[in-house]
Structure 1
């Protein structure tokens, strides 16, 4: 929260739910309505580029909840026009929510708009402007005006806001506002301007009741924001066209969880399926809510989605259909169901695959030339021999990705010269030494293959990645070569002329196949008949010849093994290897965890006053969240790993930064770490961010690590408010980090836009990642990515 002794100019956006305290509403109704309201508001704010991360301390927005509503104070640097532009989107969102909400949880909303000087102090916000806006919102005249309508949204704007913001812009439809005199009890001018947004109103020329077509809607307990991103639907029809039909019964909703790689095309196909799957009266029969995995992995992903366990504090994203990259993930979940004795959840994969892909060894063209590679075939023994010539590999973690798991199995089978990987093969004789040699050749490991390709795309000409072969899927390689986004929109297209060209190579013995199964999640009680019919229809659509042709054109293979004709050097037919049954999951991952590189990790925690700001979880502050994040990550470290703790802020000298020196996680060091984390208190004025990162990286470089087989990965994990991260020294620090001995730098920032402002440049240069977080769910996702990269398993 901003703290100031001088008034500050803010635009005021104050909302109140109509009838929230009505006796007809139960507490459950109120909880559902609040959830729906905040989900809709967050999506609308982000859609119109209004700042949302408002839980104290944010320079652009301050938010306070009022139980049945709340207010947002928007900084003067944000155009006030955006508040007005948000109103029709908000009306759409409320109307969409009401279509599937229970009767007692429906929402009608009043909004007041004003802009003036407000006062901040340690208790919150005050001032005449706040009193005036509150009374505008509660004015009896406005309530009566609203009550006479069937609108979902009523807006009252102060006279100053109307004449200064709304009236000058024709796009705001100022003529739709009606002047109204209200009683504000001497806090300001009584003249105000009101407008109603009634989505159900008939457009010109229509007869009878007109309704918008149904839009994708998340399941009521979830209120997933992704499903609301399609709310921009025209409210009128073109001249001469018939209005949409009145659809009284809602479409059947199915929830589809999909891998990151397939999300873009599956989302498009789902929208087309919705449009074409209609009843005889023209009404849509289905809503398909497509959500990509928030965290990678098989059994762990199932746990996070609530398939196996239910944590009331976590948002659940249960699925009706699961579209993973490989049946290997399905086998992991089935085993987890068995071990946990879950009998109410099942996985039906009898419908088979919707498409296929292959593992491929993607080699930078210069590296391929120096290795004198020709054609497109190699042997796995050849691949392992590249390390003796000074080259390395990049691979996704086998705990986090089907591609990473398949890569690890293929490499281990070759290293141990065996087609089956059981506990004996993985542990007896010199197996541990051979696997350790394989893991030392892994120069880059991430939780998703797309991140490897994204790093390659951004690598400068002298980067070590130019001498690294990446084990990825054909589909992701094709996306890279087509300069398409990688990992959804996480890695945008780059400069095709600057990024290294990658050549595909395949093992003569055969390459692992990714079968992309269509899996139906069954539960007790069984899904309704209409839902199963919709699921079957969606499957039939994905298996249809036109969709199969589009999947092939997008870089996947068809059932016969044929691939896209757009890549001349990717062979259409080649030997494929099914990995199912060739390894035991738990022994393999145990062997991998033993063989991988150790990690030396220094946590650096911001203790500036900004870290005392409230944070939305049980312990309440950013500093406490930072301490808990380290506590979550600490148990993942093995005996060969090392850990240390720093603090930083203005006024904390170099000699006072270290709280726990870097060393093995023995009981004594862990006890000290716990005590220091519990004692973290934000006290200083500024963050001292970039000097602290530079000093931490220098500290880790000084520790060495050697060049032998036991060399550790050295890393700095910074947890910071992130304000001021756009300082000019970001570029200088990035140059220093990329030039010196390798130390990975990861940043977890509470301040929005910190990554784009400079931290992303710094972390990328050091082979790490920057994460912006606004809640513990986002914190866990950040830890997922970091911990998977360093320790092999997320918290």
Structure 2
């Protein structure tokens, strides 16, 4: 990026391909007349028969993958660039925009497949996708260059539902809105699946943050996620299809139809602009702030791009920030300046004062908070396949400060409590480890991973696990054989991966590796990375043997303090 200065500005007086064709035909006709009159030399000297080159003789071709919501605006901007001879270093910029589902394109980048290499630039709807790609060191590299537009996330409702909640004069926090729409079947709330929709994920993150500041916030956040999961759609486009076909008709009472949606302002704008019923959606903007879809512009595999391609991409991005580009984006319902939000845009999207449509969250969510919200969603809504690996070294007999219980007592009770919350469809197994528990191996498989509802020899998997959890005891003089056990458990979990479930290895330990004959930490991390596959994800999660929060984490993905990372006791892939 640093090696490129900004490319050319638009050429003044430039015309589109059709105007250029007419201009060339007129020049040719004039030249013929002059030639007949014997004035060919004068025509050449006067430039009517130009032997110079047009910027279109050798244009820079740029292919952009864009989120479906912003792709139409970018296509209009590409047409503008062609019609007005927008150039980069004297070459016209020929931009081709393809709408690509953001989740699917991010997955293609992370796997290096799916046609990701066919594009020079990418405009997803949110930076959360760019962050996830950047966090994966095996993905096709992307280089963020800036943001081209924004759109706040709120809750859109059909008019009758909005009226019952006092729109537009009554304002709500995210928690209030979630409570109003998830505690009663009278007001059904739909959302894009947060694992595939940035709109849904940012809203869930905001909800989790807000709930976390209240009493029993963890439980409230999980309950909200569970309620949303009942009416989630794969994408924002699909969730719009869950609205009643006639917003004021009898179908609004159809239990299969949603009356409220977590939606971006731009999506509500586009829906209202195209709606035939005459009854537009109304939009609530939470008073504790609406997170933003920020639409980053990123170069795809910049080291492989030519200088011309990199500079042309930057030129097109700067065009989107100029008056013409901003006008195009605003015509499609996007914000281009948070300090001057067009009232007409907000009104068209279904917003109206005193709804706090300019309010932003106190602080933007961090990447960690977004990932925690995604983990909460995944664990809450999917059946689980967990390989539970428990430390049985002698230090697990040490007391937990402030209690009369040992670390193993607390761990055992938490596991039993968590087990009661899983369904018969969940799959769980149990390993324990210390040093040399099974010959030279530091671990022993007590209960192979299986479906809790399955029966073998007259007893269920749940019963076998309950008995095994209850029987966990520290090994006298046992040390912590952490590294070899971690690798073995991860290999087993990835080899038995089950599609459609939340697959994970959950490691409960109170200390660092104490086996001098084990593999090194660097080798362990290297082998874990080799085994990890983005298309078959198996998180490896280490939890400290801390308190009853263990059971909450196991079921809901809640945070739990962990051993000192600098001492090499925690890994995550």
Q: Give yes or no for the alignment of 1:321 onto 2:121.
A: yes
1:268 aligns with 2:76: yes
User: Does 2:161 correspond to 1:367?
Assistant: yes
Query: Is the contact made by 2:62 and 2:95 (CA closer than 8 Å) also made in structure 1?
Result: yes
Specify whether residues 302 and 640 from structure 1 end up closer, same or farther in structure 2 by C-alpha distance, changes over 3 A only.
farther
CA distance in 2, matches of 1:417, 1:534: 47
Offset from partner CA, 1:539-592 (integer Å, 9 cap, x none): 121110222133223311122343343243345852112534164444332221
Contact 2:149 2:329 in 1 (8 A): yes
Aligned to 1:471: 262
* 2:292 is aligned with 1:513: yes
Q: Which runs of 5+ in 1 are unaligned?
A: 1-212, 216-232, 419-424, 484-493, 600-637, 643-663, 669-779, 781-795
> 2:320 aligns to what?
542
- Secondary structure of 1:458 counterpart: coil
Is 2:385 aligned against 1:593? no
Instruction: Give the match for residue 242 of structure 2.
Output: 455
CA distance in structure 2 between the partners assigned to 1:501 and 1:562 by the alignment: 24
User: For the residues of structure 1 that align with 2:88 and 2:382, how far apart are their CA atoms?
Assistant: 61
State which of 142, 156, 160 in structure 2 corresponds to 1:347: 142
Distance 1:336 1:414, change over 3 A: same
| TM-fit CA distance, 1:516 | 1.5
Partner of 1:444: 231
Q: Does residue 250 in structure 1 map to residue 58 in structure 2?
A: yes
| Residue-by-residue CA offset, 1:193-226 (whole Å, 9 max, x unaligned) | xxxxxxxxxxxxxxxxxxxx999xxxxxxxxxxx
Among 332, 336, 339, which residue is 2:136 paired with? 336
CA distance in 2, matches of 1:405, 1:519: 21
- C-alpha spacing 1:285/1:666, structure 2 compared with 1 (3 Å): farther
Equivalent residue, structure 2, for 1:396: 192
Determine helix, strand or coil for the equivalent of 2:157: strand
- Is 1:495 the equivalent of 2:241? no
Does 2:311 correspond to 1:533?
A: yes
2:87 and 2:157 map into 1 onto residues whose CA distance is 51
CA–CA separation in structure 2 for the residues paired with 1:593 and 1:552 = 35
Is the partner of 1:589 in helix, strand or coil?
helix
C-alpha distance in 2, partners of 1:280/1:252? 8
Residue among 140, 150, 155 paired with 1:356: 150
Question: Structure 1, residues 125-168: CA drift from partner, whole Å, max 9, x if none?
Answer: xxxxxxxxxxxxxxxxxxxxxxxxxxxxxxxxxxxxxxxxxxxx
Equivalence for 1:259: 67
Q: Is the 8 A contact 1:358 1:514 kept in 2?
A: yes
Matched, 1:301 2:96: no
Find the aligned partners of 2:168 and 2:131 in 1 and give their Cα distance.
37
CA distance in 2, matches of 1:266, 1:513: 19
Is the contact made by 2:189 and 2:260 (CA closer than 8 Å) also made in structure 1? yes
Q: Would you say the 8 A contact 2:63–2:118 is kept in 1?
A: yes
Rounded to whole Å, the distance in 1 between the matches of 2:424 and 2:212 is 24
C-alpha separation between the residues in 1 aligned to 2:243 and 2:284?
17
The 2-side partners of 1:641 and 1:280 are apart by 58
Tell me how far apart the structure 1 counterparts of residues 61 and 24 of structure 2 sit (CA, whole Å). 32
Superposed, which structure 2 residues align to 1:91-102 within 5 Å?
none
Q: 1:273: Cα distance to partner?
A: 0.9
Q: Give the Cα–Cα distance (whole angstroms) in 1 for the partners of residues 269 and 133 of structure 2.
A: 29
Does the Cα contact within 8 Å between 1:376 and 1:505 map onto a contact in 2? no
Please state if 1:286 is matched with 2:93: yes
Partner of 1:700: none
Higher RCO structure, 1 or 2 (CA under 8 Å, sep 6+): 2
Deviations 1:445-503 (A, max 9, x none): 112212222331526343236663211100010111111xxxxxxxxxx5324xx5321
Q: Is the 8 A contact 2:87 2:93 kept in 1?
A: no
For each residue in 1:393-420, what CA deviation from the matched residue of structure 2 results, as whole angstroms up to 9, or x when unmatched?
11111111211111111222233327xx
CA distance in 2, matches of 1:430, 1:278: 53
Residue 382 of structure 1, CA deviation = 1.6
Question: Offset of 1:515 from its aligned partner?
Answer: 1.6
Q: CA deviation at 1:322?
A: 1.4
Instruction: Kindly tell me the number of residue pairs found equivalent between the two proteins.
Output: 347
What residue in structure 2 maps to residue 7 of structure 1?
Answer: none
TM-score with structure 2 setting the length:
0.52
2:336, 2:19 → 1: CA distance? 38
Within 1, Cα distance between the matches of 2:142 and 2:96?
A: 19
SS of residue in 1 equivalent to 2:223: helix
Q: How many angstroms does 1:262 deviate by? A: 0.4
Match of 2:201 among 405, 418, 432: 405
